[in-house]
Amino acid sequence: VTSKPVNRKMTDSGADEVKKGLLYASGLCARSEQCVLDIRTKLLRRGLGAADAGKIIAYLKANKFIDEQRFADSFVRMKLRQGNWGPRKIRQALLAKGIADVMIRKAMEQSDDDAHCANAYKAALRKAKGLNMAQAADRQKVYRFLMSRGYQGETITRVMSRLGAEADDLFNEDDNCNS
């Protein structure tokens, strides 16, 4: 009795690993927005091959588990809400995650300059505590700090001029840059 050769691309144990990888990746995507690069890295770290990881990612994209635009939008909202990063740093982080420039621009449209300025002002206040803002060296520390956080020069200039106001006005409840 001759049996027909079975045309399998993977062994049963390989198929089990792919199923486990798919369950793992879909669970990650169900909990929070993920980008392709993060999912690929996590699958490869779990020992899946690049081809299997690619198949899983294609499945996740086809079934809307992964959507890079949705990820970019969520990432920008999260970083704005946390208030720690300026627009440059957010943009660089998204580029590092492999998000297309068009998607980044679209996601960044949801942020406004007032929100960035208010976040920069709060960050500058935290940094300026204990510093003498009358001294150029301390002003430079705050300026460099805001630059490292990804805020733009215009926003930093507005914040720094506000920090140069009288000490009594530094800690009022108005957190925008227009006063």
83 contacts: CB under 8 Å, gap ≥ 6: 118, 119, 122, 123
Query: Got the DSSP string for 64-124?
Result: TS--HHHHHHHHHHHHHHHT---HHHHHHHHHHTT--HHHHHHHHTT--HHHHHHHHHHHH
- Give the residue with greater pLDDT, 1 vs 14: 14
Classify residue 36 by its DSSP letter. Answer: H
pTM above 0.85, yes or no: no
Task: Tell me what pLDDT residue 3 has.
Answer: 47
pLDDT digits (tens, 9 = 90+) for 62-91: 999 999 999 999 999 999 888 889 999 999
Q: 65, 40, 62, 63: which is closest to 53 by C-alpha?
A: 40
pLDDT digits (tens, 9 = 90+) for 9-51: 444 446 888 999 999 999 999 999 999 999 999 999 999 999 9
Task: Tell me what pLDDT residue 53 has.
Answer: 94
**One-letter amino acid of 4:** K
Classify residue 178 by its DSSP letter. Answer: -
Residues 143 and 163 sit within 8 Å (Cβ to Cβ): no
Task: Tell me what pLDDT residue 176 has.
Answer: 55
pLDDT digits (tens, 9 = 90+) for 143-171: 999 999 999 989 999 999 888 763 334 44
Residues 27 and 43 sit within 8 Å (Cβ to Cβ): no
Q: Which of 102-106, 121-125, 161-165 has the highest mean pLDDT?
A: 102-106
Classify residue 5 by its DSSP letter. Answer: P
Q: CA 131, 137, 140, 144 torsion: positive or negative?
A: negative
